[in-house]
């Protein structure tokens, strides 16, 4: 129940700081727009109707969907945890009978609640008539949100060691754009790179999820594989975060208490 209250708080907080939401929306749309313009130019310059099996329409659909998904996948959990560690405010949270990871997750889900509901509706609309596959894709999307949060939480624990966190922003952003397939579908990469990246957490939560939505029930075995791997990554990263957090706490000096 305490996490539900925290989720509601996160939701209310997102309503109070509406400007943050709109600014994030505009900057993400800029990024999507850039990818669309780049690919429009590529189709034009190459003189081909399809590139790597993608028609221009198919490519635009893919880029728009990964772009929309990136509205949910923001870096707030990372910098929120880092701020709590840097300011020492985490001390007050450590005294409470709560799991900090779940507290962060509930806050993140609350902050993104409207977008998560919209994503659910979009998935239902795009995969309508596919029955059980739709439910599995919805489940895959929810696990992906938890996995994304876990990646951010894990990186946030680096604040126990790092003095400055700002350099993480551009590098994670670039990694997400590249490995998450926001610049291009990952299967346009050379085979070795594609096979190396397609099962990474960033690909699973973004590129693979969108491909699953677009391909629907044509490849049900792939849907099971992606969902299973997302769960495995989630469990592994939860374990790693717990360990890193415990080690980090030994370095923590509780400034601000």
Partner 1 sequence: MSFRLYGVLAQQSFKTFLTYRMTSVLVVLFGFMFTAIEIAAGFVYYSFAHRIGGLNFLQYEILIMSLTSITTTYQFLFVGAHESLAGDLIEGNLDYLFLRPLPSYWYYALRQLDFPSGVNLLVYMPVTVFLLTRFPLSWSAWGLIFVIYVVGVLFVFALNQIVVEISFWYDNLTALNGVPEDVISAASRPARIYPRWLQLILSTILPVLALSNGIVTVTVKQSTAVRMLIPLVIVTVLLLVFSFYLWQRGTRHYVSAN
- From 120, 140, 150, select the one nearest 223 (Cα to Cα): 140
Provide the β-strand partners of residue 55. Answer: 50
- From 105, 97, 145, 116, select the one nearest 10 (Cα to Cα): 105
Interface with partner 1, residue 20, by CB under 8 A: yes
User: DSSP class of residue 189?
Assistant: S
CB of 127 to partner 1, least distance (A): 29
Interface with partner 1, residue 46, by CB under 8 A: yes
CB of 45 to partner 1, least distance (A): 4
Please work out the total of residues on this chain that contact partner 1, with binding judged by CB under 8 A.
41
Stretch that binds partner 1, among 111-119, 120-128, 161-169, 219-227 (CB under 8 A): 161-169
Among 15, 17, 96, 135, binds partner 1 (CB under 8 A): 17
User: DSSP class of residue 159?
Assistant: G
Q: Return the residues of window 70-99 that contact partner 1 according to CB under 8 A.
A: 79
Burial degree of 141 (CB within 10 A; 0-12, 13-18, 19+): buried
Among 45, 97, 125, 221, binds partner 1 (CB under 8 A): 45
Closer residue to partner 1, CB minimum distance, 30 or 236: 30
Rounded Cα distance, 220 and 217, in Å? 5
Interface with partner 1, residue 9, by CB under 8 A: no
3-state secondary structure of 51: strand
Measure Cα distances from 126 to 110, 131, 187, 235 in Å: 25, 12, 22, 29
Rounded Cα distance, 155 and 202, in Å? 13
CB of 97 to partner 1, least distance (A): 28
Interface with partner 1, residue 19, by CB under 8 A: yes
Stretch that binds partner 1, among 22-30, 56-64, 133-141, 237-245 (CB under 8 A): 22-30
- 185 sits in the region (left: phi over 0; alpha: psi -120 to 50; else beta) called beta
Among 5, 8, 15, 33, binds partner 1 (CB under 8 A): 33
CB of 94 to partner 1, least distance (A): 22
Residues at the contact surface with partner 1, assessed by CB under 8 A: 17, 19-21, 23-24, 27, 30-31, 33-34, 37-38, 40-42, 45-46, 48, 51-52, 79, 161-164, 166-171, 173-175, 177-178, 183-184, 188-189
């Amino acid at each position: 129940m305490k996490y539900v209250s925290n989720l509601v708080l996160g939701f209310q907080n997102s309503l109070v700081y509406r400007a943050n939401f709109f600014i994030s929306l505009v900057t993400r749309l800029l990024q999507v727009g850039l990818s669309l313009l780049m690919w429009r130019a590529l189709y034009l310059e190459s003189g081909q109707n399809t590139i790597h099996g993608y028609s221009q329409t198919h490519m635009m659909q893919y880029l728009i969907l990964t772009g929309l998904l990136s509205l949910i996948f923001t870096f707030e959990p990372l910098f929120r945890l880092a701020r709590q560690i840097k300011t020492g405010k985490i001390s007050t949270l450590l005294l409470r009978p709560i799991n900090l990871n779940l507290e962060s997750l509930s806050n993140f889900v609350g902050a993104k609640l409207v977008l998560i509901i919209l994503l659910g509706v979009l998935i239902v609309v795009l995969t309508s008539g596919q029955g059980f596959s739709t439910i599995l894709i919805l489940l895959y999307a929810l696990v992906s949100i938890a996995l994304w949060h876990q990646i951010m939480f894990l990186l946030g624990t680096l604040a126990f060691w790092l003095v400055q966190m700002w350099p993480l922003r551009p590098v994670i952003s670039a990694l997400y754009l590249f490995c998450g397939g926001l610049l291009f579908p990952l299967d346009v990469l050379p085979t070795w790179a594609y096979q190396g990246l397609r099962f990474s957490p960033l690909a699973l939560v973004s590129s693979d999820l969108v491909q699953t939505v677009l391909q629907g029930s044509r490849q049900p075995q792939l849907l099971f594989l992606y969902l299973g791997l997302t769960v495995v990554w989630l469990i592994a990263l939860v374990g790693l975060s717990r360990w890193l957090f415990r080690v980090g706490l030994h370095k923590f000096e509780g400034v601000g208490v």
